[in-house]
Amino acid sequence: MSVYTTLSLKEVQAFAAAYGLEVIELNPIQGGIQNTNYFIVCADGSQFVLTLFENMDMQAAAELIPVLEYLGQQGLAVPVPLKYSGQSIHTLKDKPAQIAPRMLGQHPMPSTIEQVEQIAIAQAQMHVALQDFPLERKVARDHAYWYNVAKQIKPTLNAADTALLNNLLGLYEALTAMYPNRPKGFIHSDLFRDNTLFEGNTLKGILDFYEMNRDELLFDIAITLNDFCTEYPEVTLNEAKATAFLNAYSSVRPLTEDEKSCLELYLAMAAGRFWMMRLQVAQMNQAEGRTGDDILQKNPLEMRDMLVERLKFVTA
């Protein structure tokens, strides 16, 4: 949620007026890497999040609105965008934009066992609820997408990192062929702690669904388990939290035996995906001259170190 497009209070007031909002304060949000986000405060004290989609057209930006509406109807804590004239996505500075309620709470840094259990249950509920949801995404960031990203990044890696990436992909090909019963469905794909909000141990918000795609449910589990059950700057897995996560998730949707057999590989693979993603974002920012305090760029080495740690437990 970095700031790539600078907005003035006057511009936002004009945009928000169509929603019936009287904006009196505008604050940029630092955090995230894809879109421009601002907190807006209204005269009546209500607060919202304004998002400009930096890399999506109107159609792509609108794809997820029915998903958020449906999840909200299912009782999940998600920010459902506001509408006027029957639409949630409108244009601001020639870019798709939306306004959604601001969900209050804190990122769990570090997480507690109870918070780990709550996010695992919510993730399983999302997986079950969206299993047959009629959604087609314009951009599919599934395994094939990330494999292509890895191929693009590989020529820029040194010899040691190239060997590390090749080892990971080789293990993936071998183990997934042995254990094929790995269900697919719509997954969040980016359910890190900084995309959740808690009040104490109560989950109050799940944010940033823009990476949602149809992929293996086990990838979503691995992404979230890696982050919620790791005590940064250390990258080792907290076994007590990991066990609590898996038990809570399985209380809603039990894992298949093949998913259980592939879990350690997928923890490594998830770290590898985000290593590649962060390298790709760093290269894109450099190419486009994106710099400054308003641009958040997460450290690729954090995910590389996690990948090395997770691979210690993977055997073909």
Comparison of pLDDT for 237 and 146, the residue scoring more: 237
Taking CA atoms, 104 is separated from 10, 41, 65, in Å, by 25, 13, 20
pLDDT band at 291 (very low <50, low <70, confident <90, very high): low
Comparison of pLDDT for 314 and 294, the residue scoring more: 314
| For residue 172, pLDDT beyond 90 | yes
pLDDT band at 294 (very low <50, low <70, confident <90, very high): very low
| For residue 8, pLDDT beyond 90 | yes
pLDDT, position 102: 95
| For residue 293, pLDDT beyond 80 | no
Rounded to whole angstroms, the Cα distance separating 265 from 122 reads: 23
**Region class of 99: left (phi > 0), else alpha (psi between -120 and 50), else beta:** beta
Mean pLDDT of the chain: 91
Radius of gyration of the chain (CA): 20
First to last CA, the chain: 38
For residue range 50-87, what is the model confidence (pLDDT) as tens digits?
Answer: 999 988 889 888 988 999 999 999 999 999 999 999 99
Reported as half-sphere exposure (CB side, CA atoms, 13 A), residue 271 has a value of 26
pLDDT band at 161 (very low <50, low <70, confident <90, very high): very high
CB atoms closer than 10 angstroms to residue 61: 24
Q: Which three-class secondary structure state does DSSP give residue 162?
A: helix
Rounded to whole angstroms, the Cα distance separating 240 from 251 reads: 17
For residue range 181-203, what is the model confidence (pLDDT) as tens digits?
Answer: 999 999 999 999 999 999 999 99
Output the pTM of the full model: 0.88
**Region class of 245: left (phi > 0), else alpha (psi between -120 and 50), else beta:** alpha
| For residue 159, pLDDT beyond 90 | yes
For residue range 215-258, what is the model confidence (pLDDT) as tens digits?
Answer: 999 999 999 999 999 999 899 999 999 999 999 999 999 999 99
Q: Please state which of the ranges 15-19, 86-90, 188-192, 287-291 shows the lowest mean pLDDT.
A: 287-291
Structure tokens given for 9: 């209070």
Phi, psi of 45 (to 5 degrees): 90, -10
pLDDT band at 35 (very low <50, low <70, confident <90, very high): confident
pLDDT band at 1 (very low <50, low <70, confident <90, very high): very low
For residue range 264-283, what is the model confidence (pLDDT) as tens digits?
Answer: 999 999 999 999 988 988 77
- Please compute the mean of the pLDDT values over residues 161-184 and round it to a whole number: 94
Side chain identity, residue 258:
D
| For residue 139, pLDDT beyond 70 | no
Rounded to whole angstroms, the Cα distance separating 234 from 130 reads: 34
Rounded to whole angstroms, the Cα distance separating 166 from 172 reads: 10
pLDDT band at 287 (very low <50, low <70, confident <90, very high): low
Rounded to whole angstroms, the Cα distance separating 168 from 311 reads: 8
**Of 171, 222, 217, 166, nearest to 192 (Cα)?**
222
Phi, psi of 196 (to 5 degrees): -135, 155
The domains located in the chain, with CATH, are 9-101 (3.30.200.20), 113-311 (3.90.1200.10)
pLDDT, position 7: 93
- Please compute the mean of the pLDDT values over residues 22-27 and round it to a whole number: 96
| For residue 175, pLDDT beyond 80 | yes
Helix-, strand-, coil-residue percentages of the chain, each rounded to 5: 45, 15, 40
Share of the chain above pLDDT 90, in %: 74
